[in-house]
Amino acid sequence: MDWILENAFLIPLIPAVSFLVILLFGRSVIGAERVHRVGITAVGIVWVLSMLAAVSWITRVEDSTSYKSDDAEHAQIAVNEGLSASSAGGLDGELHLAAEDDGYGDDGGGYATTEPVISEVDGWWSSSGVDFAVGTLVDGQTVLLLIVVTSISLLVHIYSSEYVKGDRRFVHYYAFLSLFTASMLFFVMAQNLVQMIVGWELVGVCSFALIGHWWEERPNTDAALKAFLTNRVGDIGLLIGVIILFGTFGTFDIDAINRAVGEMGSEVHFAMLMASIALMAAVCSKSGQFPLHTWLPDAMAGPTPVSALIHAATMVVAGVFMIGRLYPVFFEGFSIGTSSINLMAFIGGFTALIGAGLAFAQWDIKKVLAYSTVSQLGYMVMALGVGAWTAAMFHLFTHAFFKACLFLGAGSVSHAAHHTFDMREMGGLRKYMPHTYKTFVISTLALAGVFPFAGFWSKDEILLGAFAGQESAYPLMLIFGCVVALLTAAYMTRVIWYTFWGEYRGHGHPHESPKVMTVPLWILAVMAVVAGAFNLPTPVMRIFGLEGLAHLVQTYAEPTHYLNAIGLSHPPPSFWLAVVGLVMALAGIAITFMYFWRNTGPHGLTERNRYAKAGYTFLEQKYYLDHLYTDIVVGSIKAPIARAANWVNDNVIDKVVNTAGEGARDSGRWVYRWIDQGTIDNTVNALGSGADSGGQGLRVMQTGKVQNYGSLLFGTAAVVAIVFVIVL
């Protein structure tokens, strides 16, 4: 049963092969209009394998829990069997099952620890005495991401076959979708940090290529470059963080690093703090956290299914995933267990807040969703920052479905409304596109966190995590969370009003999208309703008498062997907090409803009141962050140099010249008055020829002949060597 967990390398391999097949044979052998079948087949197989992996993993967790109740001898036999079975089915290289159930119970959360399945080939390569292994690490977190990535990817592949049909680069599009899927799967099962960096960069490259899919238009290439360059900033942080971790522990192995942090604890606090800050920069760029989030809304220049897959559901959660993967490092570095505010929680909460604020001022439906993604990613990072690991991963899981549904819905709207994303040219579409409308509303309710949709459960857990904290509560984060819940419900209701209600303001006749597009929408909408069931709190499940099915994500996805070592606790569910979260969401919807549908409230406030107008402009200009980066940061490097040069030119050189000229004029008059014309002439001529001969003398050095420059170079080297060897 563990076969798929040990041979998990097959999962990224299949889409990688599909990428090569599409790229090399797509146009010639398969035919440009049929390449999507290759992509869909490959991702379909991978989806089945991922589901198998999920089942295997759940069985494994169940087994290790039952070992705990059995006697230790029995467990030992099972371990040996597992080892021999795995070595029999291994690769040619030395493939081995590194870790098995270690049989001892935990002392933290009341769950048995289940070891991750690590398959690795030792000595992939080595350099300067450091061995680099390659392999896969499969645990609950990986399996969770496998489900998310393959499910969304499959639906996006299907949806795209209609959405980008007839595109001039259809083959290229499907090739990169496959490569992206392969890279993301490779990333989530990375066994060591080097592999993680490789996957991280690969998904970045795919994102770059797909944002710039229609590169003939200048804004698209600009957006792609912006995404790429902003991510480079964070990648430096990632490299530095990995180097610090390697320097501290002497290994790239993720499992070993997590264990080592758990054992050493505060001994390595300072190094972990530095590593966490560096890695946080990487998270900020990849997962669109303040202040490096500005690339994500621009990334909407790419095709909409790409936005759904890469810039909403999967790639942008790479940062969140990375924090979750190296959670002991961050937990120790930011003192999450003992503090009541820390850098990660603050960045997350603040990003959630500003992202939600920005979503109000956008007219482009995709940009609203993009800022919503920024905001929700901030929510996840905040959850990790307050110690709610499970809540963050659960929110990642549910968010992927409903946000992908929203993006695909926006794509469907645009497909119908003649390729515009401007909400001012939409309106009244609920009559023309009933399926898109219904799925969009369902996902909106899920995103807003209305009971009993998926977002309600995951958002509630995050609020609970902030409320309970670890040793002390995170009050500021709780406030952030509640305000963002209100704002999220409000701006999403605004989108629905502008897009689907009122009268149609565009041109042409909008029409419902074909089944190829609406069926994925419905599947995602159903997931947006039921995804919450994967981690229902025990008291809720008790009502149905299904206590065993409560906290599925917590039970099966948590890497308990690390989290128990650092002493992570789980807060008990709170009924009243759930009510508060729900009231916030409903209040947001109600306020917007009153504003638009009932036409009450301060309409036209932004036109009348100059403070409100200033605030709106501030939002519309995205807090002026783009201006900060392009005008002030870049400008501060360019402009002052130019200005300084200009100043020097105006004030110093001109003055010197003027003074010299005036002096020369005055002295000339004086000399003219006292000395005869010939002397003046001679003096001037002498000055002129002096400058000329000085220039000529220096010109001799600039012969343009490479050997003369070489002589100077070697001669100077000899002189410097003489100085170093003999004089010093």
Does 697 help bind another protein (rule: CB under 8 A)? no
Q: Of the listed pieces 76-84, 126-134, 232-240, 621-629, which binds another protein according to CB under 8 A?
A: 126-134
One residue of 677, 697, 702, 727 binding another protein per CB under 8 A = 702
One residue of 28, 128, 266, 599 binding another protein per CB under 8 A = 128
Does 711 help bind another protein (rule: CB under 8 A)? yes
One residue of 125, 576, 611, 674 binding another protein per CB under 8 A = 125
Block residue for tokens 């069931």: 533
* Exposure b/e, 414-431, CB count within 10 A at least 16 = b: bbbbeeebbbeebbebbe
Minimum Å gap between C-beta 120 and another protein is 18
One residue of 77, 543, 706, 728 binding another protein per CB under 8 A = 706
User: Taking a C-beta distance cutoff of 8 angstroms, is the pair 99, 137 a contact?
Assistant: no
Q: Where are the alpha helices (DSSP H) in 212-265?
A: 218-249, 254-264
How far apart CA 202 and CA 322 sit, in angstroms, is: 15
Of residues 197 and 292, the one with the C-beta less far from another protein: 197
User: Taking a C-beta distance cutoff of 8 angstroms, is the pair 312, 403 a contact?
Assistant: yes
Of residues 266 and 702, the one with the C-beta less far from another protein: 702
One residue of 126, 600, 636, 693 binding another protein per CB under 8 A = 126
Minimum Å gap between C-beta 713 and another protein is 8
- The widest CA-to-CA distance across the chain, in whole angstroms, is 120
Of residues 131 and 547, the one with the C-beta less far from another protein: 131
Of residues 129 and 604, the one with the C-beta less far from another protein: 129
User: Taking a C-beta distance cutoff of 8 angstroms, is the pair 468, 573 a contact?
Assistant: no
The CB density around residue 218, as the number of other CB atoms within 10 Å, is 8
* Binding residue count for another protein, defined by CB under 8 A: 25
Does 674 help bind another protein (rule: CB under 8 A)? no
Look at residue 28 and give its three-state secondary structure.
helix
Does 704 help bind another protein (rule: CB under 8 A)? yes
Minimum Å gap between C-beta 16 and another protein is 20
Minimum Å gap between C-beta 198 and another protein is 14
Q: Phi and psi dihedrals of 29, rounded to 5?
A: -90, -50
Burial class of residue 635 (count of CB atoms within 10 Å of its CB; 0-12, 13-18, 19+): middle
Does 721 help bind another protein (rule: CB under 8 A)? yes
Q: Give 349-415 as a DSSP string.
A: HHHHHHHHHHHTT--BHHHHHHHHHHHHHHHHHHHHHTT-HHHHHHHHHHHHHHHHHHHHHHHHHHH
One residue of 77, 637, 725, 727 binding another protein per CB under 8 A = 725
User: Taking a C-beta distance cutoff of 8 angstroms, is the pair 200, 238 a contact?
Assistant: yes
Of residues 192 and 488, the one with the C-beta less far from another protein: 192
The CB density around residue 298, as the number of other CB atoms within 10 Å, is 21
Q: Of the listed pieces 96-104, 235-243, 352-360, 720-728, which binds another protein according to CB under 8 A?
A: 720-728
Q: Which DSSP letter does residue 96 get?
A: E
One residue of 127, 266, 599, 677 binding another protein per CB under 8 A = 127
One residue of 29, 71, 129, 419 binding another protein per CB under 8 A = 129
Does 715 help bind another protein (rule: CB under 8 A)? yes
Does 419 help bind another protein (rule: CB under 8 A)? no
How far apart CA 245 and CA 203 sit, in angstroms, is: 23
Of residues 134 and 284, the one with the C-beta less far from another protein: 134
Does 699 help bind another protein (rule: CB under 8 A)? yes
Does 727 help bind another protein (rule: CB under 8 A)? no
Does 270 help bind another protein (rule: CB under 8 A)? no
Q: Which DSSP letter does residue 513 get?
A: P
Does 693 help bind another protein (rule: CB under 8 A)? no
Q: Of the listed pieces 52-60, 497-505, 561-569, 696-704, which binds another protein according to CB under 8 A?
A: 696-704
Q: Phi and psi dihedrals of 180, rounded to 5?
A: -60, -45
Does 710 help bind another protein (rule: CB under 8 A)? yes
Q: What is the token pair recorded at 372?
A: 């919503």
How far apart CA 485 and CA 460 sit, in angstroms, is: 10
- Cα of first residue to Cα of last residue in the chain, in angstroms, is 72
Does 705 help bind another protein (rule: CB under 8 A)? yes
Q: Of the listed pieces 97-105, 411-419, 456-464, 719-727, which binds another protein according to CB under 8 A?
A: 719-727
Minimum Å gap between C-beta 231 and another protein is 25
How far apart CA 546 and CA 562 sit, in angstroms, is: 28
Q: What is the token pair recorded at 419?
A: 């390729």
Minimum Å gap between C-beta 723 and another protein is 10
Q: Of the listed pieces 104-112, 577-585, 602-610, 707-715, which binds another protein according to CB under 8 A?
A: 707-715
How far apart CA 56 and CA 58 sit, in angstroms, is: 5
The closest alpha carbon to 615, from 372, 361, 374, belongs to: 361
User: Taking a C-beta distance cutoff of 8 angstroms, is the pair 532, 513 a contact?
Assistant: no
Look at residue 609 and give its three-state secondary structure.
coil
Look at residue 125 and give its three-state secondary structure.
strand
Minimum Å gap between C-beta 710 and another protein is 5
Q: Of the listed pieces 74-82, 108-116, 346-354, 715-723, which binds another protein according to CB under 8 A?
A: 715-723
Does 717 help bind another protein (rule: CB under 8 A)? yes
Which residues make up the interface to another protein (CB under 8 A)? 125-129, 699, 701-708, 710-711, 714-715, 717-719, 721-722, 725-726
